Amino acid sequence: MATPARELPFRDETFRDDFTFKNSPQTVLRAPFPFDKDSYMYAVNMELHKDGRAGTAFEEPIDVDEHYVSEMRDRALVLDEDPLRCQSLPHMTLAGWDTLELLMSCKAASYPEWFSLERDGDRWHWINRPLGIDDTFTFGDETTLPYGPLEYITRQAQGDFCVLDERAGNLWMDAGIVTTQADWSLDFDIGMNFFEWHAPVPLAHERGVFTRALKYLLSVQQANPARRLNWTMTVNPRLDTSPENYHKWGPENTHITPENVADKLFLRIELQSFWRLPRSNALLFPIRCYFLSMRDLTTVPKWATRMHRVLKTLPPEIASYKGLDHYREIAIDYLAAFDDGQETTAGPFPD
């Protein structure tokens, strides 16, 4: 290889069974904390996804962090158990190639020490050093890859990926890979339009959030990707909180106690971004998951304070929909000790 492999900082950890996942202090500080004020309500909180602040998860268009290699191992385990987690309706193959191109070119540009892409016409040479992949293939020819283009590249990219077809003034969930989700099923929702797949979300429809969000998304242009943050909470750093396996992980929702809340309960942040794809005109919708334990939050006084206030004032419908009812009070009690009652500074970033 032309580039000497530098010592990789990737952690060897698990997101199931013994749950050895852990953030380094630097990773906590760069997290995309989702609250820009001391309360929360659904909103169309879209912004441009470019020129991100240095030292944050927004710095590169497709963020790669210390959890990369272990997250990809977890994804492979999920797909072995349940191949329905990656699906693509027949008309979405071109959008799969668009996705492959976008992710390969972003990663190679942002992290040349880890990824490289060389193109000679349709002959492409892709190297992924962290995962030990070195493949040459023909762009557009599925027989030259071990998986379809969408599955091939998203087995090498953190976060879930939905590929939305645009037709009749709506967006249709017609392809995706979903193994790190907050309790929704790609297999059930594939083929649905924007309003249908969001149907179970309470309050937001009545507030016009989805109508405005769709309007915004339909206007996303190639040069201007967009992003928004969403959040929920998860017991244990389990990436695969799928409805498919809910009967297996559901009991853990009752396992939070005042003694274990600091390390067992996690703020689960979704960095959602939206990319217009050039050939298919589809919209790529990556949903990247970041975990912060309650203890991680307390290392940033502003975040612990804010999390405490958000949980205290959260509308009960939202708390129930997000599944927080078993442990919300325990988390509030734990975080109260870190809230000095003072006003917090504007915006989401640490002081």
Partner 1 sequence: MSSAIEPSIKSRPVYGTLKPATAPAHLIIADADGGKAVLDLATAAPTSFLPNAEICYIPGKADHSVTLEALGAARFYTGPSIAAMLPRLKRTFERMHMGTQIYLAGSESLIGLAMKTAMEANIDFEAIQTEHRGSLARRVQCVHCKGITEGVTTQPVTCAHCGLLLLVRDHYSRRYAAFQGVNINAEDPSDIPPKEEVFT
199 touches partner 1 (CB under 8 A):
yes
- Interaction with partner 1 in 21-50: which residues (CB under 8 A)? none
> For residues 233-292, which are near partner 1 according to CB under 8 A?
243-247, 250-251, 253-254
Collect all residues with Cβ–Cβ distance below 8 Å to 165 and sequence separation of at least 6.
89, 91, 92, 95, 171, 172, 174, 175, 280, 282
Do 108 and 117 touch, CB atoms closer than 8 A?
yes
User: For this structure, is 6 an active site residue?
Assistant: no
Query: For residue 117, what are the β-bridge partners?
Result: 126
SS3 state at 224: coil
Shortest approach of partner 1 to residue 91 CB, angstroms? 10
Q: Which is nearer to partner 1, 135 or 325 (CB)?
A: 325
Considering the candidates 228, 276, 309, 328, report the single residue annotated as catalytic: 228
Question: Contacting partner 1 (CB under 8 A), which of 123, 195, 203, 316?
Answer: 195
Identity of residue 275: W
Number of residues that bind partner 1 (CB under 8 A): 26
**From the list 73, 198, 295, 312, which residue makes contact with partner 1 (rule: CB under 8 A)?**
198
Asked if 93 touches partner 1 (CB under 8 A), the answer is: no
Residue 241: CB minimum distance to partner 1, A: 12
Site string for partner 1, 307-336 (x = CB under 8 A): -------------------x----------
- Where do the H-state alpha helices sit in 33-148? 68-81, 93-110
Q: Which helix (H) or strand (E) holds 119?
A: strand 115-120
Residue number, 188 or 345, with CB nearest to partner 1: 188
Shortest spacing between CB 250 and partner 1, in angstroms? 3
Of 29 and 192, the one with the shorter C-beta distance to partner 1 is: 192
Nearest to 214 by CA among 155, 151, 161, 169: 169
Q: In sequence order, what are the residues at sequence separation of 6 or more whose Cβ sits closer than 8 angstroms to the Cβ of residue 317? A: 202, 203
Q: Are strands 47-48 and 283-293 parallel, antiparallel or unpaired?
A: unpaired
R_g (Cα) of the chain, nearest Å: 20
Residues known to be catalytic: 228
Q: Which residues bind partner 1 (CB under 8 A)?
A: 84, 168, 185, 187-192, 195-200, 205, 243-247, 250-251, 253-254, 326
